[in-house]
Amino acid sequence: MVLTIELEPRTEARLRQQAKAAGKDVNSYVSKLVEQAAAKSSMDEILAPIRQQFAASGRSDEQLIADITEAQAEYRAERRGRR
């Protein structure tokens, strides 16, 4: 795929510097950056299984908050015990 984008001169200059520092030509460097960005999962994708498990559990938001608060207190107590 060939894509043409307009960049601010300062942005282009920074990309050229970064590409040079990485030992790559600017086209390869920018292509790699775009590929990395496209490969990242969104937060919705990451959280989807957790949201599904929570919905299937039948627990309320209040119960979840209570569980998190309790786990946080246990963690803090454990950390204080290690000091």
47 and 35 in one domain? no
Residues in the chain: 83
What is the percentage of the chain residues whose pLDDT exceeds 90? 93
pTM, two decimals, is 0.56
Number of domains in the chain: 2
27 and 49 in one domain? no
Indicate if the pLDDT at residue 83 is higher than 80: no
| Number of other CB atoms surrounding residue 12 within 10 Å | 13
Indicate if the pLDDT at residue 71 is higher than 90: yes
Inter-CA distances, 80 with 21, 26, 74, 77, Å: 45, 51, 10, 5
76 and 49 in one domain? yes
Work out the average pLDDT over 26-38.
Answer: 95
Work out the average pLDDT over 38-67.
Answer: 93
Tell me whether residue 69 is in a domain.
yes
33 and 13 in one domain? yes
Question: Which residues form the domain of 62?
Answer: 43-82
56 and 25 in one domain? no
Q: What is the pLDDT of residue 68?
A: 93
Q: What is the pLDDT of residue 82?
A: 78
